[in-house]
Structure 1
């Protein structure tokens, strides 16, 4: 089995690459910088903003994964041109080039539960719910991911293309400013914590569940399409912060909620219904947050 991953040193791409290492798969990596956290067979330095990107080397791969994104971390304040180029233009370009080159393998892109937008509706959303959502989009990241999903479901191709909507991914190696590592680090170091009201509800999946799901999709010969990867746990920010504190033998400090502001608080309930993917592959997430705290 040969994988090619576009995007080096990202949180998700690193998790997938490590899985490939453990399985003994051949692995080619494409990006601006050489991978630092895993082994690989070949590294190709490419600029994914290049409209003349050579995709011919991808043809020998059984699986090609586009694991690049911009705009998810608001604190990075990435330029909107970068967000739209990396989240829309580059993957669309690769799709069309693979089609021109008559690629025969599997191409994978990722959508986001954020595409549902600002909603107070409390239920698990299907693939159709996300694709057709007209709820207000709070940022360019959400808009750009919606654009890619609409393209994927519309264009014609002969190779297999899976577009996986993912919930909030977490695990060792993620950005330290994100909720779970931020909370764990602060507890360990006795630092003051600051959160929003904590009422917004999110679904969570351990990052190393994703490559396992991809293997299942290959084994079951999953048809092209849009698929939700349902996380193991769905809970409010306040609940997850409390869960982490209790798992670490601490109580939540008084006054930490309501002392911070974030742009995504208008999205009150973000959760995916993974029945479609489960029925076709048998995939069910298994890892819980408290199971992996010690790995941070």
Structure 2
């Protein structure tokens, strides 16, 4: 079994790589830097902003995972060209190259629940809901991911291509400015906390669930298609902050909500309906936020 991962030191790519190592798979990685937190059998230096990738080295891979992206972390202020090139142009080009080279394995890309946009509905959204949403998009990240999903849903290919819509992924090693590590670190260091009103609802899946899905998809010969990954918990920001405080033996301080604004605050309810994937391979998320707090 050989897996090739495009993207080396990202949060998701690292989790997939570590899982591959634990399974004894041959692992090749492609990116700007060699892996920092694990080993691999072969590393390929690739800069997708400067040149088109030579895909011939991918052809003997049973599984290729495109885990490169830009724009998800607003605080990084990544440029428009970077966002659209890495989220749309590069994966589309690779898809077409793999088709041209008659690739026979499985290719993986990722969409996002953020593609729903600023919806006012409060329910779990199906793959079709996300793919066809016309709700306002708050940023270029959302627009670029919609573009990729639209392409994947329509283009013709002979290899297997899975496109997974993911909710908010979390776990040890994620960006410390994201919600869960931000709260945990502030409590540990006795620092002030500042949030939006806290009423926006998000669905959460632990990062380790994603490589488990890929393994299941391979073993069950999952057909090509777009699939939702449904997280184990769907909670408001207030509920998450309260849950973390109580797990750490603290009470939520007064006045911490409503003190900041975020661009995604208009997306009030973002949750995925994972029925399609569950019926296909039997996947159900297992880990909870409270169970994994010690990892931080």
Relative to the length of structure 1, the TM-score reads: 0.99
- C-alpha displacement of 1:120: 1.5
Other-structure match for 1:62:
62
Other-structure match for 1:244:
244
State the distance in 2 between where 1:51 and 1:146 align: 24
- C-alpha displacement of 1:49: 2.1
Matches within 5 A, 1:80-229: 80-229=80-229
Other-structure match for 1:231:
231
- C-alpha displacement of 1:52: 3.0
State the distance in 1 between where 2:212 and 2:18 align: 11
Deviations 1:216-271 (CA, angstroms, capped at 9, x unpaired) = 11111000000000000001000000000000000000000001111000000000
Q: Could you say what secondary structure the match of 1:60 adopts?
A: coil
State the distance in 1 between where 2:101 and 2:249 align: 56
Deviations 1:118-163 (CA, angstroms, capped at 9, x unpaired) = 0110000000000000000000000000000000011000000000
State the distance in 1 between where 2:72 and 2:54 align: 27
Q: Could you say what secondary structure the match of 1:52 adopts?
A: coil
State the distance in 2 between where 1:48 and 1:292 align: 34
State the distance in 2 between where 1:213 and 1:89 align: 26
Other-structure match for 1:254:
254
Q: Could you say what secondary structure the match of 2:44 adopts?
A: strand
Other-structure match for 2:75:
75
State the distance in 2 between where 1:143 and 1:158 align: 27
Q: How many residues align?
A: 296
Alignment RMSD (CA, Å): 0.6
- C-alpha displacement of 1:50: 4.0
- C-alpha displacement of 1:39: 1.4
State the distance in 2 between where 1:204 and 1:284 align: 13
Deviations 1:155-211 (CA, angstroms, capped at 9, x unpaired) = 000000000000000000000000000000000000000000000000000000100
Other-structure match for 1:276:
276
State the distance in 2 between where 1:91 and 1:223 align: 20
Relative to the length of structure 2, the TM-score reads: 0.99
Shift >6 Å, 4+ stretches: none
Are 1:51 and 1:93, in contact at CA under 8 Å, matched by a contact in 2? no
Deviations 1:90-124 (CA, angstroms, capped at 9, x unpaired) = 00000000000000000000000000000110000
Are 1:118 and 1:137, in contact at CA under 8 Å, matched by a contact in 2? yes
State the distance in 2 between where 1:168 and 1:52 align: 30
State the distance in 2 between where 1:175 and 1:61 align: 30
